[in-house]
Amino acid sequence: MSEFDLIQRYFTRPTPGAVLGVGDDAALLRIPNGMELAVSTDMLVSGTHFFADADPFLLGHKTLAVNISDIAAMGAQPRWALLSLSLPEENEAWLQQFSAGFFALAQQHGVELIGGDTTRGPLNLCVTIMGVAPQGAALRRAGAAVGDEVWVSGKLGDAALALAHLQQHVQLAAPEFAACAQALHQPAPRVALGLALCGVANSAIDVSDGLLADLGHILQCSNVGAEIQFDALPVSIALRAYLAQPVGLHCVLAGGDDYELCFTAPAARRAEVENISAQLALPLTRIGAIVAGSACTVRAADGSAINTGESGYDHFA
């Protein structure tokens, strides 16, 4: 099967939202009046972001999900994607399952695949994602203000705990691992939440490298600090059993792969945030506040500072 047969068979779908999709030297897009284009890209590398024997359907889902999550954090609507694949071999069964996982999530969020590239080499997966937001309305990392409340969606740390189990750092019971593995392999991009937070939140980011690292980006861009209440962090029952151990502390604060949204909003908008939570049936937890300064302090229930020793994932650290 040639490269072009591969693209035609597994990665060509109708693209009614594009002027021109797969099959030419470039795609053509028409951006609606009054909208801005949000663009992001993310790469997943075998052995770094996923195991070489990862389930291809789940890998297809995650490859797109981690990119949609970036668009969600901007409060934008995902619309189009480019997919570039480096493949060690032609494996039709693998390609069928990978593309099925990719397009299942794409259909769920109305994302059209409009182009990309394929080549032979070590297994690498790269997506460029594009979305639209009303002019001037996109959520940004800059904008957090002293007095804002810090919120996070869903639960933190389950994906990292599943990875710790796979790496034999912890031993989870089968039901616990199954629940945590879903967070690791099938993250749910919080697109509806990002859209709902526009005009309510002052800043937002998706939690991909760990809470402390990603909240730290907001603090740096906004020139503020934060105080986080450790006991307020939303965690599963499985992870709560490990919170007194270094592995549990790492999972919830720095493990990453959560793809939840961390955002700040004025205290006066608390009722609106709680209403969004109810409307979306999505838990939103108030975990702290923005303060003057530049540091992020994690506090125990008695008010003392916790020396976490954690900073989040860094490819080159």
Residue showing tokens 């029952």: 237
CA dist 166 to 57, 88, 92, 181, 295, Å?
A: 19, 24, 27, 9, 33
Q: Exposed/middle/buried for 135, CB within 10 Å: 0-12, 13-18, 19+?
A: exposed
Alpha-carbon gap, residue 15 to 4, rounded angstroms: 18
Q: Which residue has the higher pLDDT, 310 or 233?
A: 233
pLDDT on residue 24: 85
Alpha-carbon gap, residue 27 to 174, rounded angstroms: 45
pLDDT on residue 311: 59
pLDDT one-digit tens code per residue, 25-61? 899 999 999 999 999 999 999 888 888 889 999 999 9
Phi, psi of 24, rounded to the nearest 5 degrees: -120, -175
The 3-state secondary structure of 76-120 reads: CEEEEEEEEEEECCCCHHHHHHHHHHHHHHHHHHCCEEEEEEEEE
Confidence of residue 316 (pLDDT cuts 50, 70, 90): very low
Q: Both tokens of residue 211?
A: 């809470």
The DSSP 8-state label assigned to residue 20 in this structure reads B
Nearest alpha-carbon partner for 214 in 145, 288, 141: 141
Which of 9-13, 70-74, 266-270 is predicted least confidently?
A: 9-13
pLDDT at 23 over 90: no
Helix (H, G, I), strand (E, B) or coil at 26: coil
Query: Domain limits of the chain?
Result: 3-134, 149-299
Alpha-carbon gap, residue 203 to 210, rounded angstroms: 17
The CATH class that applies to domain 149-299 reads: alpha beta
Q: Which residue has the higher pLDDT, 138 or 22?
A: 138
Confidence of residue 174 (pLDDT cuts 50, 70, 90): very high
pLDDT on residue 5: 82
pLDDT on residue 130: 98
Mean pLDDT (whole number) for 287-297? 95
b/e per residue, 225-234, with b = 16+ CB within 10 A? bbbbbbeebb
Is there a contact between 114 and 52 (Cβ–Cβ < 8 Å)? no
Percent of the chain with pLDDT over 90: 85
pLDDT one-digit tens code per residue, 261-281? 999 999 999 999 999 999 999
Helix (H, G, I), strand (E, B) or coil at 254: helix
b/e per residue, 179-202, with b = 16+ CB within 10 A? bbbebbbbbbbbbebbbbbbebbb
Please provide the distance, in angstroms rounded to a whole number, between the alpha carbons at the two ends of the chain: 41
Is there a contact between 149 and 289 (Cβ–Cβ < 8 Å)? yes
CA dist 38 to 77, 202, 311, Å?
A: 9, 18, 28
pLDDT one-digit tens code per residue, 183-236? 999 999 999 999 999 999 999 999 999 999 999 999 999 999 999 999 999 999
Mean pLDDT (whole number) for 80-108? 95
- Average model confidence (pLDDT) for the chain? 93
pLDDT on residue 315: 45
Residue showing tokens 């838990």: 283
Separation of CA 101 from chain center: 17
Is there a contact between 259 and 206 (Cβ–Cβ < 8 Å)? yes
pLDDT on residue 8: 84
What is the bridge-based pairing of β-strands 149-153 and 284-291?
Answer: antiparallel
Confidence of residue 310 (pLDDT cuts 50, 70, 90): low
CA dist 242 to 49, 81, 210, 222, 237, Å?
A: 24, 38, 17, 33, 9
Phi, psi of 25, rounded to the nearest 5 degrees: -70, -25
CATH superfamily of 3-134: PurM-like, N-terminal domain (3.30.1330.10)
pLDDT on residue 312: 54
Confidence of residue 308 (pLDDT cuts 50, 70, 90): confident
